[in-house]
A and B are shown apart, each in its own frame.
Chain A
Amino acid sequence: MDTPVNKKKLSLKEKYSYLTRDLAWEPSYQKKEDLFPYATYEGIKVHDWEKWEDPFRLTMDAYWKYQAEKERKFYAIIDAFAQNNGHLKITDARYLSALKIFLQAISPGEYAAHKGFARAGREFPGVGPQVACQMQAIDEIRHAQTQIHAMSNYNKFYSGFHAFADQRDRIWYTSVARSFFDDAMSAGPFEFMIAIGFSFEYVLTNLLFVPFMSGAAYNGDMSTVTFGFSAQSDEARHMTLGLECIKFMLEQDPANVEIVQKWIDKWFWRGFRVLGLVSTMMDYMLPKRVMSWREAWDIYGEENGGALFNDLARYGIRPPKGWKDAGEAVDHMSHQFMLALYQWNFGTAFHSWIPSDEDMDWLSKKYPDTFDKYYRPRWEHIKKMDEAGTPFNNFGLAKLCQTCQLPTVFSEPGDPSSLCHRETEYKGETYQFCSDHCCDIFKEEPEKFIQAWLPMPALFQAPLNGDLEAWMEWACLENGSDNGDFKGSHDQVSFQKWREMTTSN
């Protein structure tokens, strides 16, 4: 039988329609509410799923084609990296701390995002977001895999790369990123999209990936540049999905605006706290720095976020509640956080160090209003203690924030010499917070956040009962190798020795 041949090539729009919208069907023997039980309980009203537009119009056939090309490029470079002693080409072994934090805290987040999008794709009743979420779910698992694969080359030579999967669940600073994703994944599909698709991907992901990958390029780390850019090439599509999703919700019903605004307030602040880790990488951990955290914030936070919220104003959306406090905190957070990481470095699966005089001069140039006044005196004192042979360790473990799970190291808005403490009571229990915003997030959903697994209080419960050594073993933290000051570490000694071997006989 002759099949009629359609001579004309399909337009992008037609192809998209055939390969996306036409895959949907109306249920005949089950009720729609039973098929999609999570679609309405969050209060978001959708009248017409057909109004969903996917601006990229990417269909599965094109998706596989381009993703395969990205993988081929990625593995060509990873092979070249391994064959050419890439692990010795980085500027300095201090750089590895940034990578270790990435592997322990961020890569598992990619895997969590994969699970989240797979679920969101199943729970949305509209075929447009179903297909887009499915692609993003596959992207995210690809990101986790390529990152782990790329960094496995460093694991052959250096400490701190060997147990990221357990450490993700068991170490205090990684629980920050973990709780962020757990919170998003235990929300409904619409909140998940605002949390990850919009707040994280659109508003914040540039601050994570773009300066970090440029930093890797500056510091000779070919494998990280490669996985970073390979992942980032999907990111533009994710950002578009996040923006599309928020516009869709806002346009479907005016009653959605208030709910969406509350989620934006919540998830901007939660994302901003997770990014505290990135600020230390940019300001302190890159031996050769690209730009300061403040400069990155000005471009990707202030300017880009400003443009976005200007645009969303037409729906009645305002910038997130924590926006102004975040802008102020940017001049302080990397210093507050790095001082914390240093004093608790017996409990970190990466190394930290006292910044050199040259580093401190760079920091005072980049932070003229804050570094010399508040943070240099602390570092100078810590340096003096170190030179006297009594290096500073803070064995008083930290008070953690019930919401973001970070140690409460941040200062009071408007008063950098006072720590910010917030406390509330719920059903007779006391809860501690790092900021007004984290406290407000808790008060919106206390039944959720009272269940948080906080690593410091957990250490004093069964089965660890306060035994720090037992904790290290449980957290797969090799004492004397993974943790502590960079000075005198295996990483420092090995890197120096191997580098000398590459230039002499």
Chain B
Amino acid sequence: MSTVFIAFQTNEETRPVIEAIELDNPSATVHQEPAMVKIDAPDELVIRRETIEDQIGREYDLQELQVNLITMSGHLTEDEDTFTLSWK
């Protein structure tokens, strides 16, 4: 097993995104660090557009993530609906 992770700035735009990630990835661990939230997950982490849209009540483009992204680890696969990090 290898850990993948993603980190966002702590702000009002990322709060619902992080909540959505927690809903979609039950095995993920969320670390609150100074000004930053880091989410670790074993082998894979999926971010789903729909879950975020449910949280914020508007349409969401996954590329908006990039504005508040700090870092990540793992291979990325991205399309309109999902943003996936994995070590496999």
Interface residues of A (CB under 8 A from B): 11-13, 55-58, 62, 66, 69-70, 73, 205-206, 209-210, 213-215, 217-218, 225, 229, 232-233, 235-237, 239-240, 243, 290, 303-304, 306-308, 310-311
Contacts and interface: CB of A to CB of B under 8 A. Distances in A.
Interface string B46-81: 000000000000000001101111111111111110
B33 to A, nearest CB: 6
A214 B36 contact: yes
B63 A236 contact: no
Contact of B67 (A55, A70, A239, A303): A70
Contacts of B68: 233
B70 A12 contact: no
Given A217-B35, A307-B2, A311-B87, A209 B78 contact: no
B36 A210 contact: yes
Interface in B18-39: 33-36
A55 B79 CA distance: 9
A233 B11 CA distance: 14
B66 A55 contact: no
A235 B73 CA distance: 11
A420 to B, nearest CB: 32
B45 interface: no
A229 B66 contact: no
Contacts of B66: 56, 58, 66, 233, 236-237
A55 B35 contact: no
24 contacts: A12-B79, A58-B66, A66-B63, A70-B67, A205-B71, A210-B36, A210-B71, A213-B70, A214-B33, A214-B34, A229-B9, A229-B36, A233-B66, A233-B69, A236-B66, A236-B72, A237-B66, A239-B72, A243-B75, A290-B34, A303-B3, A306-B2, A311-B2, A311-B87
Contacts of B9: 229, 233
B7 interface: yes
A229 B64 CA distance: 15
Contacts of B71: 205-206, 209-210, 232, 235-236, 239
Given A70-B67, A214-B34, A307-B3, 4 more contacts: A55-B75, A214-B35, A214-B36, A240-B72
B76 A56 contact: yes
Main secondary structure of the interface of B (DSSP, over half): strand
A462 to B, nearest CB: 46
B57 to A, nearest CB: 21
A155 to B, nearest CB: 24
Given A210-B71, A239-B72, A12 B2 contact: no
A236 B69 contact: yes
Contacts of B73: 304, 307-308
B41 to A, nearest CB: 12
Nearest to B68: A233
Contacts of B87: 307, 310-311
Central interface residue in B7, B67, B71, B77, by most chain A CB within 10 Å: B71
